[in-house]
Chains A and B, each alone.
Chain A
Amino acid sequence: MANRKSKLCSLKEALDGIGDGAKIMAAGAHFNNIPMALVRELVRKRVRGLELIPTPSAGLWVDMLIAAGSVSTVHVSYIGMEFLGLAPNFRRAAESKSIAIDERDEPTIFHGLRATGAGLPFVVLPPIHKMTDLPSVNPKVYKEIQDPFTGETAIAIPPLSPDVALIHFAKCDEYGNAVSAGGRHMEDIIAKASKRVIISAEQIVTTDEISATPTQTTLPGVMVDAVVHAPYGCYPGTCPGLYAYDRTHLEEYYELARKNRTQAYLDKYVYGSDGDAALLAAIPEGRLESLRIV
Chain B
Amino acid sequence: MECSVAELMAVAMSHELRDDDFAAVGAASQIPVCALRLAQKTHAPNLWYLYGGSGAVNSKSKALVESAADYRNLFGAEYRAPLMDIIDFEFSGRFTLCFFGGMQIDQYGNVNMVCIGDYEKPVVRGPGTVGTVFTSSFRRVVLYVQHHNPRLFVPKVDFLSGPGFPQDAAIERYRPKFSEGPVSVVTPLAIMDFRTPDKRMRLRSVHPGHTVEEVQSQTGFELVVDGTVPKTPEPTAEELRIIREEIDTTGVLRRLIE
Give the interface of A toward B (CB within 8 A): 29-33, 55-57, 76-80, 82-83, 86-87, 90-91, 94-95, 103-107, 110-111, 125-134, 137, 153, 181-186, 189, 238, 240-241, 244-245, 293
Contacts and interface: CB of A to CB of B under 8 A. Distances in A.
A87 B69 CA distance: 17
Given A57-B52, A80-B127, A132-B163, 20 more contacts: A56-B130, A57-B27, A76-B128, A83-B67, A95-B122, A103-B114, A105-B133, A106-B129, A106-B131, A107-B131, A110-B87, A128-B176, A131-B171, A131-B174, A132-B162, A137-B119, A182-B74, A238-B70, A240-B74, A245-B70
Contacts of B131: 56, 105-107
B154 to A, nearest CB: 15
Contacts of A241: 71
B40 interface: no
A112 to B, nearest CB: 12
A82 B28 CA distance: 6
B90 interface: yes
Instruction: Say which size band chain B's interface belongs to.
Output: 35 or more
A87 B127 contact: yes
Contacts of B67: 30-32, 82-83, 245
Contacts of B174: 126-128, 130-131, 153
Contacts of B130: 56-57, 77-78, 105-106
A29 B53 contact: yes
B129 A128 contact: no
A32 B71 contact: yes
20 contacts: A29-B54, A30-B27, A32-B71, A57-B69, A77-B129, A78-B128, A103-B128, A106-B129, A107-B91, A107-B133, A128-B133, A128-B134, A131-B166, A182-B54, A184-B82, A185-B55, A189-B84, A238-B71, A240-B74, A293-B71
Nearest to B162: A132
B84 A110 contact: yes
A110 B83 contact: yes
A191 B125 CA distance: 30
A258 B124 CA distance: 14
A182 B161 contact: no
B219 interface: no
A130 B176 CA distance: 12
A225 B87 CA distance: 28
B126 interface: yes
A104 B70 CA distance: 24
B53 A134 contact: no
A182 B77 CA distance: 12
Interface in B72-93: 72, 74, 80, 82-84, 87, 90-91
Contacts of A240: 71, 74
A98 to B, nearest CB: 12
Contacts of A33: 71
A56 to B, nearest CB: 6
